Structure 1
C-alpha cells in the first residue's frame, strides 16, 4: 500500500502521525478464497480385432500386432481349448524389459503387458500343433504399475535360484567340485530362502516354503532342480505377471 505523502511544511511529528493513521485507517479488502482444483485423468480404453491362428506362430517374425499410439498397457484375452499349455510373447521381452506369459488352454485367459517405446508390434504364440487359438487385444492409456513387494522378492529369489542352479550344474555338468561343496552351496542358498519365506509379503510365501521344504528334506538330489522346475513355476509365474522376470546369473558355461 502506498502511504499519502505529508504536506510541505508540516512537522516531522505530524508526518509520522499521518503515516501511522494511514496504516491503521485503511484496511485491505479480503480476496476470494482460492478454490482447490483436482486434475482429472481420464483413462481411455479401446479394443482391436481378434487375431487367430492354429498352432505356433513359427517361424519368426510372428504375427503383426498393431499398437495404438495412446496405448500404455494391453490386455490380451487369449482363448484356446484342450487343456494343453500355451506361451505368449509381445515383441521382444528382453529388449522391452518385460516377460513372456503363459497359461493353459481351458477357455479365455486374460494377460496384461506394459506398452513402451521398446514394445515391438509383434505377437509370438506357442501352442501344440493343431490347437486353434484367438487373441483379442484391449488397449488402455493407464500405465502398467508393478507391485513393489513382488519386484523386490523376485529380485531376491533370482539370487537364491541362481545359487541352487549353479550348485546343480557345477556338479553334474561340469564336475567343478564334489558333493560336499555342492551341499555347502545348497545349504547356504536354503538359509537365504528361509529368510525370504519368513519375511515374504506376497503370495509367493507359500511357494517359497514348499521349495524350502523340498530342498531341506532331501528331495533335492544333485541335478534335480535343473530337470524339474515344478516348484519354481508358481514363483516364476507371479514374477512374470508382474513383469519382473527371474534373472539367473550363470557361474558355468559360455
Structure 2
C-alpha cells in the first residue's frame, strides 16, 4: 500500500456506521463523480469478489499506471448496507462510499499518486459481493460549487459540534457561552445557505431554519439528522467529505 492511515476525523465514518446498521446512505442531491464521457482504459475490467468483510487495508486492487479516476460497480447479496473504501481514504481526505445490497451501485473515486492499490469492503455477515472497476484517464469531475459548500459547512458543523462538546461533555464553558457559539454558527449557516448555488442548498436552508428555532442546551443539531445525512452523502459522493476540526479532546 502506498499511503498510511492518519487520524483525520471524517464524518463519513458516521454515515458508514449508519449504513452497516441497516440504513442506506442517502443519495446525493447533485450529480457528482467522474466525467460520464471519460474513455475507459481497460476494455474488460477485472472483477474483484469475495464473501464477507475484508477488513482494512483490504484486498489487492491493481490500478493501471495512467488511471486518474475509477467507477466501481458494486453488487452484494441481501438487502443490508455496505461500505467500500479505495486505498486509505482518511489519509487522502477522501471518503468510503456506501449503499444497500440487492442491486448494482456505481461508486466513484479520483485516483491520486498516493492512492493505495487496495479495496476494503464491509458487508453484513458472509454476504457475497463483487466489484467491477472501470478506470479512466480522465480526471474525477468534482462539483466545485458543492465542494465550496461542503468546506464551508464543515466549518459550521465543527463550530456546532465543539459548542455541544465543550458545554455538555467537557464543561469548558456555561450555557451563555454555548448559546453565543451556536448563535454565531447559525448566522454563518444562514449566510451559507443564502449564497449557495449547489445541490445541497435546500438542506442547508432546512438546517438553518431548524437551528434558528428553540434550542436544547448541548444539543444544537437536534432535528437535523435527515438533512445532515443528505449533505454528508452529497459531499462524500463528490469526494469532498466533511472534515471536522475538534477543539476538545485528543
Q: TM-score range by the shorter chain?
A: 0.7 to 0.9
Rounded to whole Å, the distance in 2 between the matches of 1:49 and 1:115 is 17
Alignment of 1:7-18 (within 5 A): none
What is the total number of aligned residue pairs between the two structures? Answer: 212
Q: Does 1:243 align with 2:213?
A: no
Greater C-alpha radius of gyration: 1
Rounded to whole Å, the distance in 2 between the matches of 1:225 and 1:69 is 44
Partner of 2:193: 197
Partner of 2:25: none
- 2:159 counterpart (150, 160, 163): 163
Q: Does 1:142 align with 2:146?
A: no
Rounded to whole Å, the distance in 2 between the matches of 1:138 and 1:206 is 33
Partner of 1:53: 50
Return the TM-score normalized by structure 2.
0.78
Q: Does 1:76 align with 2:76?
A: no
- Does structure 1 conserve the Cα–Cα contact (< 8 Å) formed by 2:207 and 2:224? no
CA RMSD of the aligned region, Å? Answer: 2.2
- Does structure 2 conserve the Cα–Cα contact (< 8 Å) formed by 1:168 and 1:226? no
- CA gap 1:186/1:203 in 2 versus in 1, 3 angstroms: same
- Does structure 2 conserve the Cα–Cα contact (< 8 Å) formed by 1:165 and 1:226? no
- Does structure 1 conserve the Cα–Cα contact (< 8 Å) formed by 2:76 and 2:101? yes
Greater relative contact order (Cα 8 A, min sep 6): structure 1 or 2?
2
Shift of residue 250, structure 1, vs aligned partner? 0.7
Shift of residue 228, structure 1, vs aligned partner? 8.0
Partner of 1:119: 115
Rounded to whole Å, the distance in 1 between the matches of 2:67 and 2:151 is 28
- Does structure 1 conserve the Cα–Cα contact (< 8 Å) formed by 2:232 and 2:242? yes
Partner of 1:85: 81
Return the TM-score normalized by structure 1.
0.76
Q: Does 1:232 align with 2:228?
A: yes
Shift of residue 220, structure 1, vs aligned partner? 5.7
- CA gap 1:220/1:229 in 2 versus in 1, 3 angstroms: farther
Rounded to whole Å, the distance in 2 between the matches of 1:43 and 1:89 is 23
Rounded to whole Å, the distance in 1 between the matches of 2:96 and 2:160 is 23
5+ residue gaps, structure 1 = 1-41
